[in-house]
């Protein structure tokens, strides 16, 4: 683990929804170009933690946090940070695929256009490259004007991944990206995650333990707002260090 470069360094991070202390003193080094999975029972704080990594929680009222989240030596909670710029660098993919009611092309070109890329040729290149990276190109290249909503669930989710990578992020946050998909579409997303980690740092929340085991290099187990254990995935799933982790992953919890 030592030779890996840290992409996100979290130090003593706390998060509160009003009086509820939702994340307690979380410290973790998320390694670059690796997949880090966050697991734990519902309400353990894993999604809150994920959303803290690109300040999506800022949008929720009556929340506050302390501690630091440092991406490439910059504390993203610093007052000087431009949140829009930050989210360009840190993309997010949600549980329910949420393509815009626009064509496939316009979905992918949406971010680059906001970033003032207007030239058709350049946009074409970005759309093709992003759809290739999201392993969707071959299935849609003949009709990019088709509505994104006309695609299957698995294709829609890959379209959202294409849309996220179109603005050249460095980090991808995924909140249960395959939980609404059938096994075949899930396999495609998992394979895609495996491909994407060569270029991006990925943090994924999943309720599917086997998925965490299959796709991630590192796993963090959260319970009641605390980070119980963070280690290499193969260690977590063969010889976890903490009894609580063991009980959770073997289904002996509670």
Q: Where along the sequence are the contacts to another protein (CB under 8 A)?
A: 209-210, 213, 237-240, 245-246, 249-252
- The Cα-based distances of 204 to 78, 110, 116, 185 in angstroms read 24, 24, 30, 17
Instruction: Report in angstroms how near the CB of residue 2 gets to another protein at its nearest.
Output: 13
Instruction: Report in angstroms how near the CB of residue 11 gets to another protein at its nearest.
Output: 29
**49 Cβ partners below 8 Å, 6+ apart?**
13, 15, 23, 26, 38, 222
| Pick 29 or 233: Cβ nearer another protein | 233
Considering only CA atoms, which of 138, 134, 83, 67 is closest in space to residue 107? 134
| Pick 72 or 232: Cβ nearer another protein | 232
| Pick 108 or 178: Cβ nearer another protein | 178
Instruction: Report in angstroms how near the CB of residue 116 gets to another protein at its nearest.
Output: 48
- The Cα-based distances of 139 to 2, 118, 148, 152, 166 in angstroms read 40, 26, 12, 11, 18
| Pick 99 or 240: Cβ nearer another protein | 240
Instruction: Report in angstroms how near the CB of residue 219 gets to another protein at its nearest.
Output: 11
Instruction: Report in angstroms how near the CB of residue 239 gets to another protein at its nearest.
Output: 4
Contact 111, 167 (CB under 8 A): yes
| Pick 101 or 254: Cβ nearer another protein | 254
């Amino acid at each position: 683990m030592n030779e890996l470069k840290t992409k996100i360094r979290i130090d003593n991070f706390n998060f509160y929804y009003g009086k509820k202390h939702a994340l307690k003193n979380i410290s973790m080094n998320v390694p670059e170009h690796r997949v880090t999975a966050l697991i734990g029972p519902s309400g353990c704080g894993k999604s809150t933690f994920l959303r803290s990594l690109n300040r999506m929680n800022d949008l929720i009222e009556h929340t506050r946090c302390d501690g630091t989240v440092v991406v490439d030596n910059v504390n993203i909670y610093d007052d000087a940070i431009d949140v829009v710029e930050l989210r360009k660098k840190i993309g997010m993919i949600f549980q329910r695929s949420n393509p815009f009611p626009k064509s496939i092309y316009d979905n992918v070109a949406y971010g680059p256009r906001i970033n003032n890329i207007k030239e058709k040729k350049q946009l074409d290149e970005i759309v093709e490259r992003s759809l290739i990276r999201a392993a969707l190109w071959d299935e849609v290249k003949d009709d990019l004007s088709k509505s994104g909503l006309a695609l299957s669930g698995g294709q829609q989710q890959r379209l959202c991944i294409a849309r996220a990578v179109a603005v050249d992020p460095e980090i991808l946050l995924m909140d249960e990206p395959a939980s609404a998909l059938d096994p075949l579409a899930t396999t495609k997303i998992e394979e895609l995650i495996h491909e994407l980690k060569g270029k991006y740092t990925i943090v994924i929340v999943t309720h599917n333990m086997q998925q965490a085991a299959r796709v991630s290099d590192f796993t963090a187990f959260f319970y009641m707002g605390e980070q119980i254990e963070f280690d290499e995935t193969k260690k977590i799933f063969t010889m976890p260090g903490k009894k609580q982790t063991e009980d959770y992953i073997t289904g002996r919890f509670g």
